[in-house]
Structure 1
């Protein structure tokens, strides 16, 4: 069996966006790659979003992650910290079409909020009594 040809491996089969739920003056309507999108289907377990800076890749991926139940700043679904509320309302207008395979665990990581996720990880590891090796800020960044 080829992993990449098996639709049953998909956690998310597609998304749909109800633009009536997004304000007519929202900046989202000005992002060309997103504003014309009503549906997007996924056919493989791995999808790449490619485009210029500011073209909407991160906005779309973040909305999918938040609609799926992840913290907008990153981490597992159990993370509830918030240092800066900057995510768009796109997730509120998004409906996910989920596959039959439900993952047992997941993690959403944004490069721009890694510091905040690492800080939350350190706080959680202190609460759980995790060893210092679990503390990201003490690790080499080179």
Structure 2
């Protein structure tokens, strides 16, 4: 591992009643450790998982719109205010890596197109990311850009990946596991199945380590696949009653 822990300087936050400092899971966070090379953040939308991941990217000096340290471009979005109040502990410190932000990946692809470097597509399979499907462009990034000693921060990478390609991402992570560190915010029960990973849940107003089988993603998916007709009937009956 490279990133050992993330500390939130709670005593220095001027106003904990404003976003993102009023997110319950972040209000209670003082230090989060990363004991394995692969860590997942899980939780409902608004639980704080992507907010913390973006703050870590900010402290890594990655572009918080997506990219690495050398990807300088602007996207209209809120800045990572949480990043000013966290501190990262490294052993050893590394500077190589990438922050994948699914919702601004289009703008990242446009940024690459505008570069004047003759080999600008070498890290993306040899052609513009805009000339590939959404899923193909994500895999091209993972297969060609991800390598060596680095930290990779991925915010909902499954957004563009079919189940089969999510399995391909798991294989890529496995191939890099002994060199690279991954921190991934996800809703995917497939990705969460990665063996021996650390999983942090951001639900219930706190951040706690849980087992794969304890995630709501696993529980709901397993229940649905076991009896889809029953689940749908129950769901639709509830809608009619309401």
1:116 aligns with 2:107: yes
Query: Which of 128, 137, 140 is the equivalent residue of 1:135?
Result: 128
Give the corresponding residue for 1:7: none
In structure 2, relative to structure 1, the CA distance for the partners of 1:26 and 1:88 (3 Å cut) is: farther
Note the residue ranges of structure 2 that are not aligned, 5 or more in a row.
136-242
* Aligned pairs for 1:71-90 within 5 A: 71-90=63-82
SS at 1:80 equivalent: coil
Q: CA RMSD in A?
A: 1.9
Asked if 2 retains the 8 angstrom alpha-carbon contact of 1:83 and 1:116, the reply is yes
Between the aligned partners of 2:98 and 2:91, the Cα distance in structure 1 is 18
Give the corresponding residue for 2:24: 32
Between the aligned partners of 1:53 and 1:89, the Cα distance in structure 2 is 19
Asked if 1 retains the 8 angstrom alpha-carbon contact of 2:58 and 2:64, the reply is yes
Aligned residues: 130
- Measure how far apart 1:30 and its partner are: 2.0
Between the aligned partners of 1:102 and 1:80, the Cα distance in structure 2 is 19
Asked if 1 retains the 8 angstrom alpha-carbon contact of 2:58 and 2:80, the reply is no
> Which has the greater radius of gyration?
2
1:23 aligns with 2:14: yes
